[in-house]
Structure 1
Amino acid sequence: MGSNQAAVSFLTNIARAAFGLGLGASILNASLYTVDGGERAVLFDRFRGVIDQTVGEGTHFLVPWLQKPFVFDIRTRPHTFSSISGTKDLQMVNLTLRVLSRPDVGRLPDIFKTLGLEYDEKVLPSIGNEVLKAVVAQFNADQLLTERPHVSALVRESLIRRAKDFNIELDDVAITHLSYGAEFSRAVEQKQVAQQEAERSRFVVMKADQERRAAIVRAEGESESAKLISEATAAAGMGLIELRKIEAAKDNVGTMSKNGSLIYLPNNNNMLLGLNPGR
């Protein structure tokens, strides 16, 4: 009997020790939490509320049940959202905005108190639409294309300023897409077609004007040539005409001399007889 009681007592002590170790391990595990790289933690205390101190990377202690950590991702994250806004000339335009955001690490306790862990999803779409509508309303529809860099700069400056009110830092803001309604798109297309037709008509007019100028120049050249010939003829008298007749006669004689069937008779009638060598 004594040996059995000793064995039971020994097993009981082992069980108690194992339970104690397990309980201690559970308490120790519940007392530790880890903050990974690119993260920060905010500690909530049941008695003091949110502690105004941001916890950095590494493994940290807390009081189980009394304290609870909330981990924030502080790395830059992209967000994209769209907005349909009205221009100054009452045209509807669809814009897509992309922003790169991150929280202000020193203000994480305030962000947690006011917005929670999903602070960016709650804030950025609303202030993004607000800024887009305010900026787009300052421009006509065609100015959004011709002055796009200026529009983007205004959107960036306004959105960065508004995000700081919520302790959010913006590393980049860009308009990635811009499109108009169907009616305005058709009007732009018709305007482009009209401009092309106007350019074509202008080219036709310019071509006709150049051809007219060329015809005038040619006519003036022919007139000047005729005038020079007339003046030369008047100055030389009939001698120039006779010279031209002699030159023409020489050309005719040279041509006819190549024909063996013609004989030239030097009489007053300047007769040319056609002889057939075969007879």
Structure 2
Amino acid sequence: MEKLPKIGIPVIIIAILLIILIAKSAITIESGQAGVLYRTFDNGVVTDEPPLGEGFHVVAPWNKVFVYEVRQQELFEKLRVLSSNGLEIQIDASVWYQPVVSDLGNLHQTLGENYLQRVIQPAIRSAARSVVGRYTPEQLYSSKRDAIQDEIFEETKKILTKQYVQLNEILVRDVTLPTTIKEAIERKLRQEQESLEYEFRLVTASKEAEKVIIEAQGKAESNRILSASLTDKILQDKGIDATLKLSESPNTKVIVIGAGDSGLPLILGDN
């Protein structure tokens, strides 16, 4: 076996070193990520330049790149907090967040890669305690879920404003009350509903009674007016008209005998 030339060994060593350096210098940033450059011999974390974007990058082998997920991320939280009267309430919430890309260097320098545990979770828990403590269990169970969701979001957002984190949304998925409190609230709501139904039936019956009274009063007034307008002369004329119509019937035999007490003809006949 032929020996390699003396000059060949250094070339091979240099080539190997170059390959190692290139491998250590080549950085690929995946989709939805960004990189924070750390210059070992030049002030450490780079905060005055934009972070490294998606794609292939070459950096000095003695420098480092810390890769962050910059897409929107979701955190599921089960929060145990106290209501205004001291009862423990469990809130299940979803939190949508992401780092501020332009401040990624500052985020890395001040909070590091575990910024979720350092600032986001404590901020949410603090805001939830503050907000829920303003309401009773009944309000949380029925009418105030949307309100507490918005208030927790606003208070958390204030805390995170200067933490280089962007809070997009907080969604309250469920509010769990102690079983005895939940049953008491449901029972009260049923009673209120039944009371409303009973009041509605009373109002309906009252209106129906008023309608009957008004109709009766109208009929009585009509009869009074009619009675007052019927004189003996009018009654006599109507009687004559009725007699004439009766006499015109082909099934009636009419015999005029004289006059009755009312002055009308007496009619005898059969069919």
Same topology, TM > 0.5: yes
The whole-number CA distance in structure 2 between the counterparts of 1:216 and 1:9 is 125
Match of 2:243 in 1: 249
From the superposition, tell whether residues 193 and 15 of structure 1 become closer, same or farther in structure 2 (CA, over 3 Å). same
Contact 1:42 1:50 in 2 (8 A): no
Q: Match for 1:36: what amino acid?
A: I
2:92–2:174 contact (8 Å) kept in structure 1? yes
Cα distance change of structure 1 residues 250 and 62 upon mapping to structure 2, 3 Å threshold = same
Shift in CA distance, 109/172, structure 1 to aligned 2, threshold 3 Å: closer
Name the counterpart of 1:172: 168
Quote the offset at 1:96 in angstroms.
Answer: 0.8
Match of 1:60 in 2: 59
Report the CA distance between 1:123 and its aligned residue: 3.7
Deviation at 1:43, TM superposition (A): 2.4
Q: 1:252 corresponds to which letter in structure 2?
A: L
Q: Superposition RMSD on alpha carbons, in Å?
A: 3.4
Which residue of 1 is the match for residue 3 of structure 2?
A: 8
Name the larger-Rg structure. Answer: 1
- Decide whether aligned partners of structure 1 residues 75 and 20 sit closer, same or farther in structure 2, where only a CA change above 3 A counts: same
In the alignment, does 2:254 pair up with 1:264? yes
Q: Which of 230, 239, 245 is the matching residue for 2:233?
A: 239
Structure-2 residue corresponding to 1:137: 133
Q: Which structure 2 residues correspond to residues 42-191 of structure 1 after superposition, within 5 A?
A: 42-43=37-38, 45=40, 51-54=44-47, 56-57=51-52, 58-63=57-62, 68-91=64-87, 92-102=89-99, 104-111=103-110, 115-144=111-140, 146-148=143-145, 150-164=147-161, 167-181=163-177, 182-191=179-188
Secondary structure of residue in 1 paired with 2:151: helix
Deviations 1:178-237 (Å, cap 9, x if unpaired)?
32323344334333322332222222222222222223222322322332233224xx3x
CA distance in 2, matches of 1:14, 1:150: 76
Question: What TM-score, normalized to structure 2?
Answer: 0.74
Structure 2: any 5+ residue segments left out of the alignment? 259-265
Contact 2:91–2:172 under 8 Å retained in 1: no
| Percent identity of equivalent pairs | 15
1:137 to partner: Cα distance = 0.6
Partner of 1:22: 16
